[in-house]
Amino acid sequence: MLIATFGANAQETGTINGLVTDVNGLPLSGATVSIKFLNKGTMTDFDGAYTIENVEVGTYDVTFSYVGHETSTKSISVLEGKTTQLNSSLNESNTILDEVILTANKQPQKITDVPATVNVITARDIEEFPSFNVGELAARQKGVDFVRSGVLGTGINIRGFNSAFNAKNLQVTDDRLSTLIATGLPMGSFSTVTKDDIERVEILLGPNGTLYGPNAHNGLVSTITKNPRKSEGTTFAIGAGNQSVITARLRHAQVIDDKFAYKFHFERSQGTEYKYTDTVYVGTKSYPELELDRDFDTQKYGASLYYKPTKGSEINGYYGHSNTNNIGITSAGRNQIKDWSIDVAQLKFVSKNFFANTYYTWSNTEDTYAMNQRTQNYVSFIENGFSEQEARERSFTEQWFPTGEGEGIVLQRGAVFKDASRRFNAEGQYNNNWSSFYLTLGAQYQLDMADSKGTYLLDDGGIDLNQTGFYTQLEYKLEDLGLGFLLGGRLDNHELYGSNFIPKVAVTKKINNGTFRLTYGKGIAVPSILNLKGNLFGGLVLGNGEGFTLTDGTKIEKLDVETINSYEIGYKGKLSDKLFIDTNAYYNQSDNFISPLRNIADAANGNFVTHIGDQPIGEVIEGSTGAFVLTYLNFGHVDTYGVDVGLNYYFDDNFRTSFNYSYFDRNLDKDDLANDGNLDGQVLESELPINTPNHKFSAGVHYNNGKFYGALYGRYVQKYDFFSGINVAAETQDQDGDGVNEIVENAQVGRTWNYGQLGGFTVDANAGYNFSDSLSLGVSLTNLFNAEVREFVASPVIETLVSFELKYNINFFKNKSVAIN
């Protein structure tokens, strides 16, 4: 930074003030304004205004930055005793190095200063993607395992060990957990947020538990919605596509006065899943899923009221609701989701130095059921002479077991899932900076109140679990040397697992046009309530919160907290004026890894489950013999490692190309019997499936000239094996070396049909035309060339999906824009 003149008296000072807006004149609240030469700075208030006092007389470069916008630097001369006005209008970011993000440190920070790999899905990306399913954009990000299970179903995983019930990355929306209460799974289509209200999505790779707590151990996905003060207007959108897809959306945002602003949104989407039926086996005989309903629909709405008690603070109240009907894939078969609703109420306070947040989440369903178990129940009645009507009615809760000629007993094999779970969260945070020193200090509290009404949990009277976390993060920046240091720590206390310490250390170094980083972070995964207290299908799937005993005396320990220690080196910067790179290499050390569902009984050799904790299994689960029990286990120690590379080349402001590559692998200690998943005395490679390809890459071209926009994107996922509970998608193989192929492609394997490995090559495209500032029409094509690719277990081949979207924006409030110099 440069000083042209200096006053003779160091005490001679003046003041700088001004407004920071976007190119439309709308104020940017929370923009960073800094004079790096003097280590002075501030943030704009909710009118986009700022003031920096006691600035020594002289000429300085002042830097302006804001999330999703380009950083701007302007020169100004400060005069003694005078107030000098300096306004700035910031353009939306066109290159990855100009991005300012929020999620990494819970405050605005330029992406090159963040000691982590970060992917950003911007508002422009979302606006130019004419599909109601924003999740598809995750397929275009580096280091992300994207899967599609159908028309509606999309999901992501980060850095390996995927499963049909994947909770290995934490997802948040506007500072609230976006996960189901009892399972810890991402809400996905259950989210209460609509596409048009999303400002951006930030995806952080690697552990982020210091600020966000348990289960952010592999990665973090943060969705940030629009502030009505910067997004006034009304948006109408209608869309349609094959598979009978129809969607309609409405969003409205308005500033009432200097104190109040509000927004609301609504969406209704529906369609029909691909024609696919998962096979249900009773012994070796196959049956189709009973009463399979392939139609899906989602309805969601929400509203926010923003109030400014002072110029430098804001209170935001939010309520959102969603209701969903669809097919959900689990480790034990598919679920028919019936009217599963989510409600969220949130109250949040934000100011320059203080942040307070509290919210309450409701989860409700009465009629959701497991199709696999219900089909088995139905078959047991039909094959024993019961009428069609009685078999269907009783199949929701009972299974018939014949005991003799025309005789039998009924066992409770409930297929219905009820849920009336609740969650309460609260957080308080203080942050400040003194010259080059930055402090963040906070505390979080969470109370989970799970209630399955006795259907899928051992929860007579409900299950309440609480956890509390205290965190701090310190940053120190030596601007002259281009060095940055970060030290963070979190003490997390769980009602069942006591205290765990989560540290993070990072060093960044700016060199020419880029930044190197070296990071160590620890993450933990606390078992979900389902992991601990699950009771599905009359004890065929059980949580492992107490431990088990087998007939031969083998003791299986109860689940412990999973930990991961991650070491990462990375670089992001310019390789030339037009070529940008963001790359990393990492090494993870996992202990007490929480496995997918595994069968711990060996009935063929007379080794049954006899006890759950200290109680006989028959007393806990009426009628259970312990002959087949799926549960979750801790593995001993697993090392994983990988590389992610992202390249972006900008031909000009309108046209760019991108290339992403990721490599992932693991080391499994075969001498550690804690890694013996099936308890047969030997550790096999297949006992801890990474369920992730070793290699994957994608390449895309993106064009936007104001009127026309478009993108063409190719994605290759190396063929890979996938094991999750009863689900198998793998090539033919001899797992234990006995000369017999336990896994056979295109054949029955255990209780499912194995169609072979997942993965392949697909091409997606989207394009659109802006007829005016208000009216646009777009089209999206998934799997453009209709390649025969299966992306997930218990899922169909993903055929070409086509969707059109017509959008109309009305901005009644343009004349309210703030004029700036």
CATH number of 113-526+561-597+632-815: 2.40.170.20
Residue 820 — pLDDT band, cuts 50, 70, 90? Answer: very low
With a CB cutoff of 8 Å and minimum separation 6, the contacts of 746 are 754, 755, 756
Q: Is 739 left (phi over 0), alpha (psi -120 to 50) or beta?
A: left
CATH 2.60.40.1120 region(s) of the chain? 13-92
| Integer Cα distance of 602 and 702 in angstroms | 55
What's the angle, vertex CA 361, arms to CA 358 and CA 366, rounded to 5? 170
User: Beta-strand (E) ranges in 539-671?
Assistant: 541-542, 548-550, 555-556, 562-574, 579-591, 598-599, 609-612, 615-616, 630-631, 637-650, 655-668
Chain position carrying tokens 């799997």: 783
State the pLDDT at residue 713: 95
CATH 2.40.170.20 region(s) of the chain? 113-526+561-597+632-815
State the pLDDT at residue 448: 95
User: Is residue 376 predicted with pLDDT exceeding 80?
Assistant: yes
User: Beta-strand (E) ranges in 128-218?
Assistant: 144-148, 154-158, 170-173, 176-177, 198-205
**pLDDT (mean) for 313-333:** 94
| Integer Cα distance of 129 and 135 in angstroms | 11
State the pLDDT at residue 118: 84
| Integer Cα distance of 605 and 552 in angstroms | 10
**pLDDT (mean) for 390-414:** 88
pLDDT in tens, 484-541: 999 999 999 999 999 999 999 999 999 888 899 999 999 898 999 988 998 888 788 8
Percent of the chain with pLDDT over 90: 53
What's the angle, vertex CA 47, arms to CA 41 and CA 49, rounded to 5? 35
Q: Measured over all CA atoms, what is the biggest interatomic distance in the chain, rounded to whole angstroms?
A: 109
Contact in structure between 222 and 103 (CB atoms under 8 Å): yes
Among 183-187, 246-250, 561-565, where is mean pLDDT lowest? 183-187
pLDDT in tens, 655-712: 999 999 999 998 877 777 777 766 667 777 667 778 899 999 999 999 998 899 999 9
State the pLDDT at residue 682: 76
pLDDT in tens, 64-107: 887 667 778 888 888 888 888 999 988 776 655 556 656 656 66
User: Is residue 738 predicted with pLDDT exceeding 90?
Assistant: no
**pLDDT (mean) for 50-54:** 88
| Integer Cα distance of 441 and 671 in angstroms | 43
| Integer Cα distance of 522 and 164 in angstroms | 25
State the pLDDT at residue 101: 59
User: Is residue 4 predicted with pLDDT exceeding 70?
Assistant: no
Query: Which of 593, 674, 629, 807 lies closest to 163 in space, CA to CA?
Result: 593
Contact in structure between 489 and 500 (CB atoms under 8 Å): no
Query: Which of 369, 195, 426 lies closest to 298 in space, CA to CA?
Result: 195
Q: Which residue type occupies 476?
A: Y
Contact in structure between 711 and 765 (CB atoms under 8 Å): yes
Whole-Å CA distances, 61 to 8, 38, 659, 769: 20, 10, 35, 40
Query: Which of 803, 817, 795 lies closest to 276 in space, CA to CA?
Result: 795
CATH number of 13-92: 2.60.40.1120
| Integer Cα distance of 372 and 460 in angstroms | 25
Q: Which two tokens stand for residue 745?
A: 């492609």
State the pLDDT at residue 409: 87
Instruction: Give the 3-state secondary structure of 431-444.
Output: EEEECCEEEEEEEE
Among 4-18, 376-390, 555-569, where is mean pLDDT lowest? 4-18
State the pLDDT at residue 10: 46
State the pLDDT at residue 813: 58
User: Is residue 455 predicted with pLDDT exceeding 80?
Assistant: yes
pLDDT in tens, 7-48: 434 458 899 999 998 877 777 877 888 887 777 778 787 678
State the pLDDT at residue 681: 74
